[in-house]
Amino acid sequence: MAFEQVKFYQTGTFTVGNRLLEPELRSVQADTTRTNSLNSGHRACQGCGEALGARYAIDAAMEATDNQLIAVNATGCLEVFSTPYPETSWQIPWIHSLFGNAAAVATGVAAAMRAKGRETTRVVAQGGDGGTTDIGFGCLSGMFERNDDVLYICYDNGGYMNTGVQRSSATPPAARTATTPAMGPEPGNVFGQGKNLPEIAMAHGIPYVATATVADLRDLEAKVRRAMQIRGARYMHILVPCPLGWGHASADTIRIARLAKETGTFPVFEAECGEVTSRLPIRKRLPVEDYLKPQKRFAHLFGPEPATATLARLQALADRNIRKYALLEET
């Protein structure tokens, strides 16, 4: 009689799981000697997905580079909440650039390290979705095309949260923001498909592109580690729910991120040189309503007359992701 091997799905996600792993496979955050690069005491909102994602990503990058890391930061929530004078949460060399130029500034930093013969010092550039998909898009594309040795991390919370929740080109269709009010014949954000930055990055043929969410932090860390093993331009797109902008309970950040993945709304995958190499399969497929309902930015879809047509279109987008990335197939 064949026995099915027990799967520890949650291994490493929760601290208890680490005991089941070999020491070198344990999560960076579980290590008592982790650098804590983004220190406590910053001013992020309760339940901020970006603060969580950035802490895991930068600590993992620090570990992978033997603590030889410089961070460049575009204007945005992460920049503002981590550095109110006279404090800083950053325990690493960190430079705030402008809103749209983080990728280009990082290019310069990396070139300087190369010129000084200090190529073991690596560079991470980070920005929100506004600074990445909108105003910083030109500089980012240039960095990809030159294949500069920079890991660019986009923390995607689907809008300009720092300036008061305006839409960005990463805002999902139908979402309400301060500049896409829930009024008129097509309430909320117009029904486009947004700017799919991971796929645009892949189209540049750069060595490594990955997406992740703060619901699978173990996966996030592994991808950062993988990214830092590679030289050249690398891009990571991390979904970070924003309780303030999305209008969900601050205790639900992880759950919402998990629902984004489990509904197929946000595909989690890795790609090398333009080819998808791995994806995180959906464990239990759920309808998009499960993801949308807990968020006030979609409340107008669930009024007295449910917006069935809009919901169907959102479901179709998720279905397309599931097909395209084979998210239901076991790896």
Partner 1 sequence: MNVGQPASAPKLPWRLISGNHACALGAVAAGCRFFAGYPITPSSEIAERLSRLLPLVDGVFVQMEDEIASIAAVIGASMGGVKALTATSGPGFSLKQENIGYAAGAEIPCVIVNVMRGGPSTGMPTRPAQGEIMQSRWGSHGDYPIIVLAPASVREIHDENMRAFDLAEPLRTPVVILYDQDIAQRTETVELGDANGVARAQRKWASGPPAAYQPYATGEDGIPAMSRPGAGYRVHTTGLNHAENGFPTQSPQAVERNLGRLLTKFERHRDLIDSWQTLGCDDAEVLIVAIGISARAALRALEICRARSLRAGLFRPITLWPFPENALREAASQANAVLVPEMNAGQLSLEVGRILGGKRVEAIHRFNGEPITPAEIAQRVETLAREMNQ
Q: Which helix (H) or strand (E) holds 55?
A: helix 49-64
Contact between 111 and 193 under an 8 Å Cβ cutoff? The reply is no
Nearer to partner 1, 68 or 179 (CB): 179
Nearer to partner 1, 185 or 304 (CB): 185
Nearer to partner 1, 190 or 312 (CB): 190
CA neighbor of 94 nearest in space, from 116, 117, 118, 61: 61
CA separation, residue 103 to residues 63, 146, 152, 226 (Å): 22, 11, 7, 20
Does residue 289 interact with partner 1 by CB under 8 A?
Answer: no
Does residue 169 interact with partner 1 by CB under 8 A?
Answer: yes
Does residue 134 interact with partner 1 by CB under 8 A?
Answer: yes
Q: Which helix (H) or strand (E) holds 261?
A: helix 253-262
> How many residues sit in the footprint of partner 1 (CB under 8 A)?
23
Does residue 244 interact with partner 1 by CB under 8 A?
Answer: no
Does residue 167 interact with partner 1 by CB under 8 A?
Answer: yes
- Sign, CA torsion 248/253/254/257: positive
The least distance separating partner 1 from the CB of residue 216, rounded to whole angstroms, comes to 30
One residue of 27, 75, 89, 132 binding partner 1 per CB under 8 A:
75
One residue of 112, 178, 249, 251 binding partner 1 per CB under 8 A:
178
Does residue 84 interact with partner 1 by CB under 8 A?
Answer: no
CA neighbor of 152 nearest in space, from 84, 195, 207: 207
One residue of 90, 94, 99, 325 binding partner 1 per CB under 8 A:
99
Does residue 179 interact with partner 1 by CB under 8 A?
Answer: yes
The least distance separating partner 1 from the CB of residue 195, rounded to whole angstroms, comes to 9
Does residue 130 interact with partner 1 by CB under 8 A?
Answer: yes
Does residue 192 interact with partner 1 by CB under 8 A?
Answer: no
CA neighbor of 238 nearest in space, from 248, 226, 223: 223
* 225 CB burial (10 A radius; 0-12, 13-18, 19+): middle
User: By CB under 8 A, which span of 61-69, 164-172, 221-229, 323-331 interacts with partner 1?
Assistant: 164-172
Q: Which positions ≥6 away from 173 have C-beta within 8 Å?
A: 188, 189, 190, 191, 192, 193, 194, 310, 313, 314, 317
**What is the CB neighbour count within 10 angstroms for residue 25?**
12
Does residue 163 interact with partner 1 by CB under 8 A?
Answer: yes
User: By CB under 8 A, which span of 64-72, 113-121, 174-182, 234-242 interacts with partner 1?
Assistant: 174-182
Q: What are phi and psi of 82, to 5 degrees?
A: -95, -5
Across the strands, what pairs with 29?
A: none
Nearer to partner 1, 138 or 306 (CB): 138
**In one letter, which amino acid is 321?**
N
Does residue 137 interact with partner 1 by CB under 8 A?
Answer: yes
The least distance separating partner 1 from the CB of residue 136, rounded to whole angstroms, comes to 8
Does residue 321 interact with partner 1 by CB under 8 A?
Answer: no
Residues that bind partner 1 (CB under 8 A): 75, 96, 98-100, 130, 133-135, 137, 160, 162-164, 166-167, 169, 178-181, 183-184
